[in-house]
Structure 1
Amino acid sequence: MMFDPAFRADLDRLLAWRRDVRHFTTEPLPPGLIDTLLDQAVCAPSVGNAQPWRFVRVMTPALRSAVIAAADAANAQAAEIYDDETERAAYRALKLHGLREAPEHIAVFCDEATADGHGLGRQTMPETLRYSVVLAIHTLWLAARAHGVGLGWVSIVDPAAVTRLLEVPPAWHLVGYLCLGTPVEDAMTPELDRKGWQARLGPAATRFVR
């Protein structure tokens, strides 16, 4: 199938506007929208068609509070890796998650014991199961943005702690803890770039020919 120039232009805008969101309103998302987005997320490719993604929608207030506390603790610990006090202060000034405000929390796991796919394609690279889950998250990210929904990928959590809190099977490995909601503002430039932490690299820095 060939898509027309208007669609390709819209896709370019979608990719550019897909940003990691940390600032959300507390407004609930429309009923049924999360189900729609998850239906789109599972259109992602997966190794051997294993479809190892497992989505856990975290709605219990006590569980959400526990995850927020775990993220805050991990954030405080991460600040200590910076020996320079100026850099440490710059790190602490960053807002690295919107878990308190976002109306939706979704933990995304990889089921590493899945029999689906019958082991095809992952004998030499078993990590492709997790890569498949990453692709599902990215598909969800783009689908959310197309609906005007922001998504933040919270990486400052201990996977083992979240696994224990959510009481999922031991073979499930946490790949991403996500918060979703309506962004306070839209910005094409990544927040870490706007805050002076790290600019986007240009194409020349990431392309090589051998």
Structure 2
Amino acid sequence: MNISPEERDAVYKTIFSRRDVRREFKPNPIPHDVLDRVLLAAHHAPSVGFMQPWDFILVSKRESKTQIKQGFLQAHAEAAELFEGERKEQYKSFKLEGIEEAPLGICVTCDRSRTGSIVLGRTAKPEMDLFSSVCAVQNLWLAARAENLGVGWVSIVHDKVIRDTLNIPESIDIIAYLCVGYVEEFHDTPDLERAGWLPRRDASSAIHYESWPESSKE
């Protein structure tokens, strides 16, 4: 199956316009058919040994969101103490989640024992199942953007909070908690780039040929 130039361009447009959304969520519910398409795209991510280790927990109850938001506030306060001076104040000024604003939360997990202890492709690099689940997150994110849905990854929260709130067994790894919903707008640049936290690294500086660059080995 060949991809037409128009289809190719749509893929690149989706990639380059993807954003980590924190503040622009609308309360509008996500239609079932749209959510089904997004989750099906996530489920079609590549996985080591075709083990498909992911699961998706859909979170819409206010009580659950409130518990997770409280966990975020605790972890956010802890993180703020790691910065100093102006950097600390800038960090504290950022809006870094939309847990209660987004109509839907999605927790992505990884069951590392899904197909047994020996997995094709995981023998030399055992964390490949975790990487596979992250691929599912990226598929979900890009599919959501193609549906004009915003997604925000909440990483500033301890796993125990999510585990206790959503009754996730200790044997299951938590990969991501995502806030999902329609948004007021998608910005042209990421929030942190726009705020001057860090600039976008030039792609050419990340590309090397044949070996790691000598100048970077010190």
Normalising by structure 2, we get a TM-score of 0.91
C-alpha deviation, 1:12, in angstroms: 1.4
Counting matched residue pairs gives 209
Structure 2 match to 1:135: 135
Give the conservation status (yes or no) of the 8 Å contact 1:16–1:188.
no
Q: Deviations over 1:136-185 (max 9, x none)?
A: 01000011011100111111010122112211222111110000011221
1:107 aligns to what SS in structure 2? strand
Report the counterpart of residue 82 of structure 1 in structure 2: 83
Residues in 1 aligned to 2:48 and 2:32: alpha-carbon distance in whole angstroms:
32
- CA RMSD, 1 decimal: 1.4
Quote the Cα distance in structure 2 between the aligned partners of 1:8 and 1:33: 21
Paired residue type of 1:165: T
Mapped partners of 2:142, 2:150: distance in 1: 9
Q: Counterparts of 1:117-156 in structure 2 under 5 Å?
A: 119-156=119-156
Identify the residue that residue 12 of structure 1 maps to in structure 2.
Answer: 12
The equivalences for 1:38-187 within 5 A come to 38-83=39-84, 85-115=85-115, 119-187=119-187
Structure 2 CA distance, aligned partners of 1:90 and 1:71? 18
* Contact map agreement 1:55 1:106 (CA 8 A) in 2: yes
The residue identity in structure 2 corresponding to 1:26 is P
CA displacement at 1:118 relative to structure 2: 5.2
Q: Secondary structure at the match of 1:115?
A: coil
Corresponding letter in the other structure for 1:163: R
How far is 1:33 from its partner? 2.3
**Which residue of structure 1 lines up, in the alignment, with residue 206 of structure 2?**
206
Runs of 4+ in 1 over 3 A off after TM superposition: none
The alignment partner of 2:175 has SS state of strand
Task: State the Cα distance separating 1:32 from its structure 2 match.
Answer: 3.5
Give the match's secondary structure for 2:32: coil
Give me the identity figure in percent: 36
Tell me which residue corresponds to 1:28: 29
Structure 1 residue 116 displacement after superposition: 6.1
Cα distance in structure 2, aligned partners of 1:14 and 1:117:
37
Contact 1:22–1:95 (Cα < 8 Å) also in 2:
yes
In the alignment, the residues of structure 2 paired with residue 117 and residue 30 of structure 1 have an alpha-carbon distance, to the nearest angstrom, of: 38
Tell me the TM-score normalised to structure 1 length: 0.95
> C-alpha separation between the residues in 1 aligned to 2:150 and 2:113?
31
56-65 or 139-148, which deviates more: 56-65
Q: In 2, are the aligned partners of 1:51 and 1:116 still within 8 Å (CA)? A: no
Equivalent residue letter for 2:94: L
Whether the 8 Å contact between 1:57 and 1:107 is mirrored in structure 2 is yes
Deviation at 1:55, TM superposition (A): 0.6
Say if 2:67 and 2:161, in contact at 8 Å, map to a contact too: no
Question: Is the contact made by 2:62 and 2:100 (CA closer than 8 Å) also made in structure 1?
Answer: no
Kindly tell me: are residues 188 and 117 of structure 1, through their superposed partners in 2, closer, same or farther at Cα, counting changes over 3 Å? farther
CA distance in 1, matches of 2:98, 2:142: 18
Equivalent residue letter for 1:6: E
